[in-house]
Amino acid sequence: MTTFLAPEGASVSADQGVWFGDRPIGRVLVAEVSPILGRAVGLALLDRAYAHAGIDRYEVRGPVAVPIRTVSPPLLENRSLHVRAQRHSWFGTTPADFPPVWP
């Protein structure tokens, strides 16, 4: 299984085909809109030769073709990685400046 992201506003649903150019390479197993990322995320069962993270040349074909990008799970932003003991404390007044959850 390969994790993927779709662009904001794009609709992806289960059982749609995943294509690389004119070649079918798999199917979407599950897809939902992430409330944190604001875009569709999901799992696709891709042929072994195409099941790699970091590829943005695939598309899901249904009523409309949707480009997707494969990513490595988990799809989360661990905010604790941005906290530094030298700059932040629970009793201080310095706000924690976190980067955006997703670019």
Q: What is the pLDDT of residue 38?
A: 84
pLDDT at residue 9 greater than cutoff 80: yes
> Whole-model pTM above 0.85?
no
Domains of the chain: 2-71 (2.40.30.110)
Tokens 């939902």 belong to: 32
Exposure of 11 by Cβ count < 10 A (0-12 exposed, 13-18 middle, 19+ buried)? middle
**CA angle 59–66–15, rounded 5-degree value:** 75
Is residue 50 classed as helix, strand or coil in its secondary structure? helix
Percent of the chain with pLDDT over 70: 73
Is residue 43 classed as helix, strand or coil in its secondary structure? strand
